Amino acid sequence: MGAVTTKTEEVQENYLNAEYGWKSWLFTTDHKRIGLLYLVSITLFFFLGGLFALLIRLDLLTPPGDMMSSEAYNKMFSMHGIIMVFFFLIPSIPAVLGNFVIPMMIGARDVAFPRLNLLSWYLFNIGGLCMLYAVVNGGVDTGWTFYPPYSSNFSNTNVAMAVTAIFIAGFSSIVTGLNFIITIHTMRAPGMTWFRLPLFIWSLYATSLIQVLGTPILAISLALVAAERLLHLGVFDPAYGGDPVLFQHIFWFYSHPAVYIMVLPSMGVVSELIPTFARKIIYGYKVVAAASVAIAIFSFLVWGHHMFVSGQSIFIGMVFSLLSYAVAIPSAVKVFNWTATLYKSSVSFQTPMLYAFGFIGLFTIGGLTGLFVAALGVNIHVTDTYFIIAHFHYIMVGGAVMGYLGGIHYWWPKISGRMYPEIWGKLAALTIFVGFNLTFFPQFILGYLGMPRRYHAYPPEFEMLNVLSTAGASILGVGYILPLIYLAWSMRYGEKAGPNPWFATGLEWRTPSPPPKKNFLETPVVTWEAYDISGQPDLVERLHNEDRIYKSALQAEERKREELGVETPAEGA
Amino acid sequence: MAETLIADQHAHDAAHAHQFDDVEQQRDAATMGMWVFLATEVLFFGGLFASYIIYRTLYPAAFAVASQTQDIVLGTTNTAVLIISSFAVAVAVYGAQTGRRRTTIWALALAIALGVVFLVIKFYEYYQKYVDHHVPGPSFEFPAPYTEPAKMYFTLYFLMTGLHAIHMIVGCGLLAVMIIMARRGDFTREYHSPIENSGLYWHFVDIIWIFLYPLFYLIGRHLE
Ligand code: HEM
Ligand SMILES: [Cu+2]
């Protein structure tokens, strides 16, 4: 990276200081700036959704649910779910980190359609404003799943507005996915073949496929609900000969794949973090890459596992159960490959890596309990209980949000040009891990004992576990506020990061931090395989000279060779 | 000399966006983008087609009786109109590829005119439904025992043809923009992906109709 040293450090032009003023942000077509715009939007929604979660947990502190009426409670969990799913998790990694790093990772100057990219942010915010309007205008109480006939004929809340909000935000998600697919297909730098792509790209490619193919189905199912409410048409209304279960089919045909929109990108982040912080090439690159695509495909075939008790035939139930087991295989393959990568590697426990460990453990629990609930008999016992809540929060919060935070910390030096304070980073990661488990593990037990979801009151014998859960939630809340503070602080006061603080191998690390407006000073040419340090001699040299962990690992290897009497292979071979 | 240089420069700028290495890469991206977009459209309509299939299987008799109320002449005319318009668009694209600007403009104009004819006929049919009390809602009437499922038939009819009509309107707008671009001389033998992609969109919307027509007009007509 010698090429980028300039005499005075500060004069370097980058995407942040190239232009100033609010117009230069609101009308930007730079993928990096759009990523940051998304970061601001979804962070606001994250804390709004978090506020509703806090209110839910406070209400459940006492068995009679003293804090709010059951109507208010219904609105709380509905708005929590809608905001967290559609306005935070689905855009989170793709729209923020994906926008920021995908073009750099593949050696491009921007995404294929920069103006559409900006349009997607505007669509997201228009959807977001519609949602806020629905929230302040009295809320929604249908749950994030909008099942008719309640949502279409009975609820007296702002269902039509909320549905419109999701419809619009859905198009922003489609546009993002489309942009990424085309970018990855057509804009790779010379030498960047498909099997040299970082695994993050494979994950986001698979995610984009789901966004592009799944979201239109969600849009049409919600449009039909809105049409039923506003025009009194009756596609799902039994009084017209309609079938409410048809809605569930269409809705879950999108929304099961959508859960993979939320978790696949996190898997991608983890696939970047592990080789970087273990200083090792990922184990089974092609298998991990193929697993992402396999998950995307399988995810479209299992929606019926949400309807085991909706009057589905036993035969169809068995088919969906079997297919749900099948979708767990590629996920498990990834977990095994990550752990195999860690085997005998030299791990450095920096903050992003802590999140990666958190992801692996919590995702595994979430995935395995997914298998519990995909078994027909067990499902009937636990469906619509807190067991389900715990299952998907282990994946969506324990998995997806951990991956998101890990990615934010990992790429923060690239985004801001500064390091976050490492001690605070570790502290926050641990707080989040402890808080998370304390919040959601008791919910497995509660669900197993029979506490139903979506009720604002519960029998007194469940009090103890609910109090624990609420205590955990407050710790979790603190854990989420910490990064907000120290990341903001570090933008000004953090240590200068330099182009590649992690000794990582991706192309995004071969350009200054923060990157120049066009990403690279000159178009990079790729001659090495993914995660292979030996292809970048300057990096190997830096590792030798600067990295304590790498040095000690090399020494250990050397000693071993001597013991065994094997010759040292030539450098860079 | 200087003037032509500037003109060249301008044409180059209009055709080549900064994020692409060359015009060819840009064309690949645009074409692929259109195909992926059409895939999302297929799924968008897909939810409705799936609903149609389910209700048709549940209520075959009612759907057959309800489709007999359709005006087969108007439906068939509209099908022919759209097929001819697709041909016109194909001619326009060919004109752009081979540098025949006048052909392009006239063929596009013809396609738009046919699109408008289609929409006029469609709205006339809607009006007929209104007169016959076949619009789902409080005034809906249909002989027993098929009242409820026939209502479902007409609900789907309005939703699906309505969504299709919205796409037709968008398509006419797109083709109008293409006329403006063609008149400005934006298209060259090397650069014509906007018109190709608009053409793809138009053909796609036609194909949707090719499915809607038998589903709502033809199937079950012969039963009586
Ligand atoms: C390992 C594969 C997985 C299997 C076999 C699985 C299985 C299931 C099953 C059977 C249910 C329905 C339970 C019921 O309502 O009775 C369910 C619910 C749920 N799962 Fe999973 N799951 C898996 C992975 C995931 C992932 C990766 C996510 C999210 C990123 C996720 C999110 C959800 C959500 C949100 C629900 C509840 C939806 C609701 O009713 O509100 N699952 N899962
Ligand atoms: Cu599912």
Residue A283 has pLDDT above 50, yes or no: yes
pLDDT at position A571, please?
46
Q: Is A277 in the pocket of ligand 1 (CB under 6 A)?
A: no
Q: How confident is the model at residue A457 (pLDDT cuts 50, 70, 90)?
A: very high
Chain B residues in contact with A238 by the CB 8 A cut-off are none
* The pLDDT of residue B19: 84
pLDDT band at A13 (very low <50, low <70, confident <90, very high): confident
Nearest to A232 among B20, B40, B137 (CB): B137
CB contact under 8 A, B137 and A231: yes
| Ligand nearest, relative to CA of residue A303 | 2
Residue A568 has pLDDT above 70, yes or no: no
Interchain contact, A234 vs B151, CB within 8 Å: yes
Burial class (CB in 10 A: 0-12, 13-18, 19+), A551: middle
Query: pLDDT at residue B4 above 70?
Result: no
Residue nearest to atom 28 of ligand 1 (CA): A259
CATH node for A18-535? 1.20.210.10
Mean pLDDT, chain A, as a whole number?
93
CATH code of B49-218, in short, is 1.20.120.80
Average pLDDT value for residue range A105-109: 95
Do residue B43 and residue A213 have CB atoms under 8 angstroms apart?
A: yes
CA B56 to chain A, closest CA, distance in angstroms equals 11
Which residue has better confidence, A13 or A516? A516
Lowest mean pLDDT among A52-66, A535-549, B58-72: A535-549
Query: Which chain A residue has the Cα nearest residue B50?
Result: A250
pLDDT of B2 strictly over 60:
no
Q: State the nearest Cα–Cα gap between B3 and chain A, in angstroms.
A: 31
For residue B16, pLDDT beyond 80: no
User: What is A426-459 written as a DSSP string?
Assistant: HHHHHHHHHHHHHHHHHHHHHHHHTPBSS-S---
The predicted model gives A473-487 an average pLDDT of 97
Q: How confident is the model at residue A231 (pLDDT cuts 50, 70, 90)?
A: confident
Identify the nearest ligand to the CA of A317 by its number.
1
Point out the least confidently predicted range of A78-87, B82-91, B145-154. Answer: B145-154
Is A425 in contact with A287 (CB distance < 8 Å)? no
Check residue A8 and give its pLDDT: 44
Q: How far is B173 from chain A (nearest CA, A)?
A: 19
Interface contacts (A, B; CB < 8 Å): 107
- Mutate which of B42, B43, B45, B160 to disrupt the A interface (most A C-beta within 10 Å)? B43
- C-alpha closest to that of A212 among B129, B143, B32, B104: B32
Average pLDDT value for residue range A505-512: 94
What is the per-residue pLDDT for B7?
39
Q: Is the pLDDT of residue A4 over 80?
A: no
Nearest residue of chain A to residue B34 (CA atoms): A178
* Per-residue pLDDT reduced to its tens digit, A177-187: 999 999 999 99
Confidence band for A567, pLDDT divided at 50, 70 and 90: low
CB of A279 closer than 6 angstroms to any ligand 1 atom: no
Q: Is the CB of A112 under 6 A from ligand 1?
A: no
Q: Write down the pLDDT at residue A1.
A: 39
* Cβ-Cβ contacts under 8 Å, A112 against chain B: 19-20, 29, 33
Is the pLDDT at B12 greater than 70, yes or no?
no
Task: Collect all residues from A whose CB is shorter than 8 A from any CB in B.
Answer: 108-114, 174, 178, 181-183, 185-187, 212-217, 219-221, 224, 227, 231-235, 239-243, 246, 249-250, 523
Mean pLDDT of A479-484: 97
**Which of A181, A212, A234 minimises the CB distance to B155?**
A234
Interface of B with A (CB under 8 A): 17-21, 25, 28-29, 32-33, 36-37, 39-41, 43-48, 50-51, 54-55, 58-59, 136-138, 148-149, 151-152, 155-156, 158-159
The reply to whether residue A178 touches residue B152, judged by beta carbons under 8 angstroms, is no
Angstrom CA distances, A218 to A91, A166, A212, A255, A256, stand at: 15, 9, 11, 7, 11
Amino acid at B126: Y
Q: Please report the pLDDT score of residue A451 as a whole number.
A: 97
pLDDT exceeds cutoff 90 at A564: no
Over residues B166-172, mean pLDDT: 97
Q: Is the CB of A472 under 6 A from ligand 1?
A: no
From ligand 2's centre to the CA of A331, what distance in Å?
14
Where b means 16+ CB within 10 Å and e means fewer, A2-21 reads eeeeeeeeeeeeebbeeeee
Beta bridge partners of A418: A496
Phi/psi for A505 (5° steps) reads -100, -10
Q: Could you report the per-residue pLDDT of B22-40, keeping only the tens digit for each?
A: 888 899 999 999 999 999 9
pLDDT exceeds 50 at position B11: no
In chain B, % of residues over pLDDT 90: 75
- Cβ distance of B25 and A187 shorter than 8 Å: yes
- For residues B201 and B92, what is the distance between their CA atoms, to the nearest angstrom? 14
> Which ligand is in closest contact with the Cα of A392?
1
The domain segmentation of chain B, as residue ranges, is 49-218
A199 Cβ closer than 6 Å to some ligand 1 atom: no
Q: What's the pLDDT score for residue A85?
A: 97
First to last CA, chain A: 21
Confidence of residue A523 (pLDDT cuts 50, 70, 90): confident
A324 within ligand 1 shell (Cβ under 6 A) = yes
Element spanning A105, H or E:
helix A99-106
The domain segmentation of chain A, as residue ranges, is 18-535, 540-573
* Ligand 1 atom closest to Cα of residue A389: 37
Backbone angles phi, psi at B206, to 5 degrees: -60, -40
Q: Which of A43, A47, A36 is nearest to A97 (CA)?
A: A36
Ordered alpha helix ranges (H), A232-284: 244-278
Distances (CA, A) of A78 to A49, A81, A218, A236, B187: 10, 5, 17, 21, 51
Which residues share a beta bridge with A385? A452
The closest alpha carbon to A505, from A463, A544, A527, A533, belongs to: A533
Average pLDDT over every residue of B139-162: 92
Return the minimum-mean-pLDDT range out of A4-8, A61-65, A233-237, A445-449. A4-8
Instruction: Give residue B10's pLDDT band: very low, low, confident or very high (50, 70, 90).
Output: very low
CA-based nearest residue in chain B for residue A219: B44
Which of A220, A255, A303 has the most B C-beta neighbours within 10 Å, making it the best mutation to test the interface with B? Answer: A220
Closest CB to A240: pick one of B18, B29, B152: B152
Backbone angle region of A346, left / alpha / beta, with phi > 0 → left and psi within -120 to 50 → alpha: beta
The pLDDT, as a whole number, for residue A292 is 96
pLDDT of residue B223: 63
Does residue A327 have its Cβ closer than 6 Å to ligand 1? Answer: yes
Q: Is the dihedral of CA A320, A323, A329, A334 positive or negative?
A: negative
Q: Is the pLDDT of residue A500 over 80?
A: yes
How far is residue A466 CA from its own chain's centroid?
A: 27
Contact across the interface for B152 and A242, Cβ inside 8 Å: yes
How large is the average pLDDT for residues B207-219? Answer: 95
pTM, full prediction = 0.92
Please report which confidence band the pLDDT of residue A116 belongs to, taking 50, 70 and 90 as the band edges: very high
Give the pLDDT band (50/70/90) at residue B1. Answer: very low
For the stretch B92-150, pLDDT in tens is 999 999 999 999 999 999 999 999 999 999 999 999 999 999 998 888 899 888 888 99
Q: Is the pLDDT of residue A9 over 90?
A: no
Check pocket membership of A305 for ligand 1, CB cut-off 6 A.
yes
